[in-house]
Structure 1
Amino acid sequence: MEFIELLKAIILGLVEGLTEFAPVSSTGHMIIVDDLWLKSEQFLTEPVANTFKVVIQLGSILAVVIIFKDRFIDLLGMGKHIKVHRRPHLKLTHILVGLLPAVVLGLLFEDYIDEHLFSTSTVLIGLVVGACLMIAADLYSTNYQHKRTLDQITHKQALIIGLIQCFSLWPGFSRSGSTISGGVLLGLNYRAAADFTFIMAVPIMAGASFLSLLSNWKYFTLDVLPFFTAGFISAFLFAYVCIRFFLKIIGRVKLMPFAIYRIVLALAVYVIYF
């Protein structure tokens, strides 16, 4: 395998790592990059290319698991201090309640989504509409003082955030963009909304990725393994750095800069394509 092909894998991993958990839609970016670049690779058939995208997504998921490892240990009841809780705290049931709506709708409409919504034109719609939701959340937050932390989230709030997360089934809308916006609109502070988003994303993304890998294991051949490995490592490293940085700045910059970026990106791609 030539160096230029490994470089492309690293760049694609970079795109995945930087966008998977930022509120800009990694799926939308990967569809755009796929149309512009990935499909041009002669050695990558469509099933192999799709498997590669699953592999690099797992790199991003691993970054979240490492960053929130203490929280996941507590959720699983393995933490030393998880004996008796006398104050509100995030439970595994909050995560399950938040996941349920998207899991159900995703299973019901998976074939329709794959067949009709994975295109550049539908991504542009998702980018713009998702940006409008993020702007609305920011405008709301300027009028209210949000003090509710991650450990103060209620099951009702988790369910509503999960319902709002269903918008992200439309490629380009963004899982983190929808859930962070929903959390802010429900009274969570930005950091709490972001933390809940990232933690909630791991089981649903990991489950879907592993199922996809099981059905596509035959595409892990020696000739593409270096390409897959380079992409996985790249996605993990860039996702780790991006998430750490994002969590530090989200309370200050909020969602508006990301919303503006989404609209500018949609306009730029529209001009290029149409």
Structure 2
Amino acid sequence: MTDVMKAIILGIIEGLTEFLPVSSTGHLILAGHLLSFEGQTAITFKIVIQLGAVMAVLLLYWKRYLAIGANLIRMDFSPSKGLNVIHMMLAMLPALILYLLFKDTIKSQLFGPIPVLIGLVAGGLLMIIAARSRRTETAETMDRIHYKQAFGIGLFQCLALWPGFSRSGSTISGGLLLGTSQKAAADFTFLISVPVMFGASVLDLYDSRELLDSDDLFLMAIGFMTSFLVAMIAVVTFIKLIKRLRLEWFALYRFVLAGLFYLIVLQ
């Protein structure tokens, strides 16, 4: 199979899984193992093409980003007026700091099939606990999320640095445990995904600049565009799906995927 075909396949997988709590990074790592597409360049490729899917969210929430930007210009950070840039910073900073401190360890130790399978199972258990927890719901919509909840969701997002946990799975679970509705947690998760993934992709491209050549950049462009186009088709349906389906169903899928991959591929 040619590298171009591998890039297209991985782009399709990314576009289909980025918006579900099943770990798009985990799927890309497992698929990369099956396709013999691994190594430092492959790690950077898998991170960069996530940006293609995330850009679909930018188009979906563009009015919300403009409103947050306008409030930032006016220096209007009143939480009574809904979500603002402080909410987003509180949710992004914990994972960003940890990633900057441990990015080399994460890439060298966790970007493999076994860590992903562990993350799939552990993340699935977290989702079941969150879905079945008895909590007082204080934020029915994204605009009702307060600063403490935003920071708490940001702490849960740190779990997503372990491939297989899933960024959306971790943050939505965190939101449920902290008193938000599943819809509010999902909306907030998608909103903060753009700056988080954009920053991670740019940072990884910069760190890998000496290891990449024109062929690598060409493959990344193919994967990016494929991921973006597939995500544009899937985004509306999947966002509605994640807001309505109980997390247990996604947890069950994660358990089945981890079990089958271990038994069929790794044994």
Take 1:109 and 1:227, find their aligned partners in 2: how far apart are those partners? 27
Match of 2:89 among 75, 93, 96: 96
1:6 alignment counterpart: 4
Task: Tell me which of 24, 32, 41 is aligned to 1:34.
Answer: 32
User: What's the CA shift for 1:72?
Assistant: 0.8
Contact 1:126 1:173 in 2 (8 A): yes
In the alignment, which residue of structure 1 is the partner of 2:185?
A: 193
How far did 1:60 drift?
Answer: 1.2
Shift of 1:53: 2.2
Per-residue deviation at 1:150?
Answer: 0.4
1:54/1:213 contact within 8 Å kept = no
In structure 1, how many angstroms separate the alpha carbons of the residues matched to 2:158 and 2:123? 12
> Any conservation in 2 of the 1:99–1:162 contact (CA below 8 Å)?
yes
CA contact (8 A) 1:22 1:243 kept: no
Task: Give the greater-gyration-radius structure (CA).
Answer: 1
Q: Is the 8 A contact 2:139 2:145 kept in 1?
A: no
Which of the numbers 137, 159, 173 marks the counterpart of 1:181?
173
Aligned-pair CA distance for 1:5: 4.5
Q: Does 1:134 align with 2:132?
A: no
**Bigger Cα displacement from structure 2, 244-253 vs 256-265:** 244-253
Q: Structure 1 vs Structure 2: percent identity of aligned residues?
A: 46
Between the aligned partners of 1:124 and 1:98, the Cα distance in structure 2 is 26
- Does structure 2 conserve the Cα–Cα contact (< 8 Å) formed by 1:191 and 1:247? no
CA RMSD of aligned residues (A): 2.7
The 5 A counterparts of 1:46-65 are: 46-65=39-58
Q: d(CA) in 2 for partners of 1:122 and 1:215?
A: 23
* C-alpha contact 2:25 2:47 (8 A) present in aligned 1: no
TM-score (norm 2): 0.88
Q: Structure 1 residues 257, 84: CA separation in 2 closer, same or farther (over 3 Å shift)? A: closer
Task: After TM superposition, give the deviation of residue 48 of structure 1 in Å.
Answer: 3.8
Distance in 2, Cα, partners of 1:86 & 1:166 = 24
Query: Which one-letter code corresponds to 2:244 in the other structure?
Result: R
Distance 1:86 1:183 in 2: 17
Matches of 1:224 and 1:108, distance apart in 2: 26
From 63, 66, 69, give the equivalent of 1:70: 63
Structure 1 runs not aligned, ≥5 long = 41-45
Matched-pair contact (CA < 8 Å) for 1:133–1:181: yes
Q: State the alpha-carbon separation in 1 of the partners of residues 106 and 12 from structure 2.
A: 25
Match of 2:118 in 1: 125
Show CA shifts across 1:104-151 (max 9, x none).
Answer: 22222222222222221111111011001111121126x766752100
Whether the 8 Å CA contact 1:9–1:228 is kept in 2: the answer is yes
Q: 1:152 aligns with which of 144, 150, 173?
A: 144
CA distance in 2, matches of 1:39, 1:241: 26
Report the counterpart of residue 254 of structure 1 in structure 2: 246
- Taking the aligned partners of 1:226 and 1:105, their CA distance within structure 2 comes to 30
Does structure 2 conserve the Cα–Cα contact (< 8 Å) formed by 1:38 and 1:49? no
* 1:25/1:127 contact within 8 Å kept: yes
User: Residue type of the partner of 1:185?
Assistant: L
Question: 1:10 and 1:216, CA in 2 relative to 1: closer, same or farther beyond 3 A?
Answer: same
**Relative to 1, partners in 2 of residues 1:220 and 1:195: Cα closer, same or farther, differing over 3 Å?**
farther
2:258 to 241, 266, 272: 266
Which deviations, in whole Å up to 9, do the C-alpha atoms of 1:23-70 show, x marking residues without a partner? 001111111111110428xxxxx4443343243122112111111111
Distance in 1 between residues matched to 2:77 and 2:155, nearest whole Å:
30
Q: Which residue of 1 aligns with 2:204?
A: 212
